[in-house]
Structure 1
């Protein structure tokens, strides 16, 4: 009798196992391998930097996937393929030659910010790939390399130099035809110097950052109505290198860039309604070669780190952050 009961118990279990095995095998028929792409221009950096990126980033952000066997099995492979496709759109280390020097530097800052915030590599990825975890030593290597791209050593301000906001090349910025324009249509305007300062910040690159807002942006800050920010909002971050005086006082030194964010929800649908632009150096040259540069570099970092404040870094100082977050949670 006992043997008969055991047979009756084993049979349903065996049938269930075979059914699951059959379904699993059937899923493999619908598996689609990751699209193969050539390496057209791999990132060039010091060996120790490349080693970290290959260990923690290349499996998603490149055309050189080295997947484990379980990454290739459906349905896990479906999620892997989707993540790789999305990651390649944001940043691809195998097509680095498409980037301008400014975009190269901007991407490295984005990588550093994401690593320091613990956003990358993704936690769900490191659970299955523990060797991809980032250590503090790794972050320090990336930090030093990223800062080296900017040449952060404070430079003395020369008295004969003119304010980069007053003259562009050979023309006056008051003349519309001389105003530089970003590839996505965002135009530089010197008027922001007369706008209200809504926040200030500094960063590990020893910079001073002053954030200005136009009237629409300032009103949004005062009423805490910036999720989403109203169309027409313009926020400008003017970045300067720190210059330490003999008495220890820190003052703005060499001008670095002016970073614009213009809110137009209909025009900039791919970047959460924001038009990004960066005008660098004394000639205020715009970053990017095509209108899609912000989609490939800027917005990824803003989505990960600043979603709670409408994709804008450096929440204005007058905002009650705790109350704002509670209001957002109610929506």
Structure 2
């Protein structure tokens, strides 16, 4: 019995000391200073709802922090992060021109699509703040609408129509079996390009493709790699600024060396227009069209155009010279 008591003393002392330190830290705990909302962001209610849920806690003067965010030493990190976040973007002090507003929304959309915002470490403790694909689509429609003069009511109708259409329509499928998916909008952007047709092209890659790029392991590309090129028409504004205009198509390349033997192991699919209608009448359409250009012009990069510039290293140059 005496031995047990002796062993429990150090544990009790450690506990009491830890408790004392924790309580002492609270005397140095400073709560966030309340600031007024001078000029809130104006946008359709669906957009505001998403921003309030996922962004306002850090990027506004309207914090709704959880109880554990207010306890030192966690509160010190929270206060520091909020202060830094508001210096970058503050939805409660939205003193921007129409052009600046649009630029900020494009930046917000890009951060959401790339998965950088909200911060992953923030959503671990605040899972309700996670951005869904539906949220991104709402932000995307609103952001693109800023390229033209549209009322909030008109944009709200477009958002509602888009969501309803996605619910009611079946998933578009290419003749070779490749299904369209919006998931690519959450993938990493691996490159961008433009052509003589005055288009803007953003190329996304899934995790397998991104890893292959990072390791320069795409000779050949590993099975399971998926690359999607999203194509938009350029829209030139009166001041000469170029913006993404009308959506043209989404071009999919899916690597399956056993299934697509006639097209260098790549399955091709293209979904065009707002209705995302697939290209081709038969499963062999890619053999008759797509692969010819890819084989001839991009053979050294595994039949994939627009390989990121950072890959032009000595290793890649040697491969290209073979």
**TM-score w.r.t. length of structure 1:** 0.49
Which residue number corresponds to residue 248 of structure 1?
A: none
CA distance 1:22–1:104, shift in 2 (3 Å): same
How many residues align? The count is: 182
In the other structure, the counterpart of 2:131 is: 134
Residue 322 of structure 1: aligned partner: 311
Task: Give the distance between the partners of 2:314 and 2:84, measured in 1 at CA.
Answer: 28
Correspondence 1:66-105 to 2 at 5 A: 66-96=64-94, 98-105=95-102
Q: CA 1:41/1:132 → structure 2, altered by over 3 Å: closer, same or farther?
A: same
Partner of 1:54: 52
In the other structure, the counterpart of 1:108 is 105
Separation of aligned partners in 1, 2:84 and 2:314: 28
Among 20, 23, 35, the residue aligned to 1:22? 20
Query: Separation in 1 of the partners of 2:76 and 2:109?
Result: 28
> Which stretch shifts more, 15-24 or 41-50?
41-50
- Correspondence 1:269-308 to 2 at 5 A: 280=241
Matched with 2:237 is: 256
| Greater per-residue helix proportion | 2
Offset of residue 57 of structure 1: 0.1
Higher relative contact order (CA 8 A, sep 6+): 1
- State whether structure 2 residue 199 is matched by structure 1 residue 208: yes
| Local SS of the residue matching 1:60 | helix
Question: CA offsets per residue over residues 54-110 of structure 1, 9 Å max, x none?
Answer: 1100000000000011101111111111110111011100011x1111111111110
CA spacing shift, 1:11–1:32, aligned 2, 3 Å: same
Q: Using the alignment, how far apart are the partners of 1:320 and 1:107 within structure 2? A: 27
TM-score with structure 2 length normalisation? 0.51
Task: Supply the distance in 2 between the matched residues of 1:142 and 1:5 (Cα, whole angstroms).
Answer: 65
Q: Measured at CA, do residues 318 and 138 of structure 1 come closer, stay the same or move farther in structure 2, by a change above 3 Å?
A: closer
Aligned-pair Cα RMSD in Å: 3.2
- In the TM superposition, residue 150 of structure 1 has moved relative to its aligned partner by 1.2
Q: Which runs of 5+ in 2 are unaligned?
A: 151-191, 202-231, 243-305, 316-322
- 3-state secondary structure, aligned to 1:150: coil
Cα distance change, pair 59–323 in 1 and its aligned pair in 2 (3 A) = same
